Chains A and B, each alone.
Chain A
Amino acid sequence: MSMTGRFIDLARRLRHENREHRRRVDADLLDLQRRQTQVELDLEAEKRKRLLELEYELEKIRRQQQVELTLLERKLEQELKDYERYLEAVERLQEQLYQAFAHTPEVIVLTIHHHAKQLLDKMWEADDLNLRLERERELVKFLTTVYEDTLKAQEGEEQTLLPRRALRLMLEHAS
């Protein structure tokens, strides 16, 4: 083969190899691009999923808190009604004292009424359940004592001038 022929042959071989090389590189590049796009799509899907979960959590918490608020409102309304009932019992007690102890100075009747209200408020302000129960027992004991004094005064043959047991209980509380 002549020199020219060899040179042309070389050039043809080099072009061929170059074409093959570029074909391989293009294939790799395409594959890389495809994988990159897939990763981005997966990431986007993951983010959307997280956002949906977050929105769902938010909605769930919002509803839960609404329910808790409603329950709290009902509980407080009920507690207020209970308070009102206790207060009515204390007011009735005052009326009974006036009827049973007609000659007792007004100051004493009012002080007993005031003491009952103080016991009721102390009970209401207790945060701890055990303390609250203890104070409720104290209040009920006092109201019962006053009621028994009024019954005894109404039933008794001689005039009782003072609700002694109730006053004794009050003086004992003070000391």
Chain B
Amino acid sequence: MLSISREKRLRCRLVRLERHTQAKQKRLRLRMEKRRLVLNGNDRRYWRVMSRELKTIWRQNRARLPKPLRQKGRSWLREHLKARNYQVLLRLYLWLLSAGNDYFRDECDPLLERYR
């Protein structure tokens, strides 16, 4: 007479198979995500350049900024650099560029019209 344990063993195998497949799918997705991040690279160079250029142009043209922006100070700048808020930093850079450079004023002013 066949024992009931063989049926039980088969059912356990079924459950293990499902768990094993889910684990394999998860590992596959993680591997692909890792490969994607390697392809993407890191943005260290961008943030180095952004930080350096922004601090330089701030030092050079801070006095020519509108009062509200000038009063914010370097800590505000550091805060946004830390938060990697590149869109705010871009706006600030354009302000500083417009303030310090006649050639760029005509280009930057229409862009920043909304933010005066």
A binds B: yes
Write the residues of chain A forming the contact surface with B, with a CB cutoff of 8 angstroms.
40, 44, 47-48, 50-51, 54-55, 57-58, 61-62, 65, 68-69, 72-73, 76-77, 79-80, 83-84, 87, 105-108, 110-111, 113-115, 117-118, 121, 124, 160-162, 164, 167-168, 170-171, 173-175
- State whether A87 touches B25 (Cβ < 8 A): no
Cα(A54)–Cα(B93), bound, Å: 69
Cα(A87)–Cα(B39), bound, Å: 8
Given A65-B17, A110-B50: A54 touches B11 (CB 8 Å cut-off): yes
Sample of 13 further A-B pairs with CB below 8 A, known A162-B111, A164-B110, A167-B90: A50-B7, A61-B17, A69-B24, A69-B25, A87-B40, A105-B97, A108-B93, A110-B50, A111-B86, A114-B86, A117-B43, A164-B107, A174-B87
Chain A, residue nearest B4 (CB)? A47
- State whether A171 touches B87 (Cβ < 8 A): yes
Cα(A170)–Cα(B93), bound, Å: 13
Provide 13 A-B residue pairs closer than 8 Å at the C-beta atoms, listed in order of the A residue: A48-B2, A69-B21, A69-B28, A77-B32, A79-B32, A87-B40, A105-B93, A105-B97, A107-B93, A161-B104, A162-B104, A170-B90, A175-B114
Chain A, residue nearest B88 (CB)? A174
A30 to chain B, nearest CB (A): 22
Count of chain A to chain B residue pairs whose CB atoms are closer than 8 Å in the complex: 112
A14 to chain B, nearest CB (A): 44
- Residue of A51, A118, A168, A173 near B2 (CB, 8 A) is A51
Chain B, residue nearest A73 (CB)? B28
- State whether A173 touches B7 (Cβ < 8 A): no
- Residue of B14, B25, B94 near A61 (CB, 8 A) is B14
- Residue of B13, B97, B104 near A58 (CB, 8 A) is B13
- State whether B111 touches A106 (Cβ < 8 A): no
B8 to chain A, nearest CB (A): 10
Which residues does chain B contribute within 8 Å of A174, judged by CB atoms? 87-88, 90-91
- Residue of B21, B40, B107 near A161 (CB, 8 A) is B107
Which residues does chain B contribute within 8 Å of A162, judged by CB atoms? 104, 107-108, 111
Which residues does chain B contribute within 8 Å of A61, judged by CB atoms? 14, 17-18
- State whether A80 touches B36 (Cβ < 8 A): yes
Which residues does chain A contribute within 8 Å of B83, judged by CB atoms? none
Which residues does chain B contribute within 8 Å of A114, judged by CB atoms? 43, 46, 86
- State whether B43 touches A72 (Cβ < 8 A): no
- Residue of A55, A76, A113, A164 near B32 (CB, 8 A) is A76
A68 to chain B, nearest CB (A): 8
B57 to chain A, nearest CB (A): 9
Given A44-B2, A106-B53: A164 touches B111 (CB 8 Å cut-off): yes
Chain A, residue nearest B31 (CB)? A76
- State whether A72 touches B87 (Cβ < 8 A): no
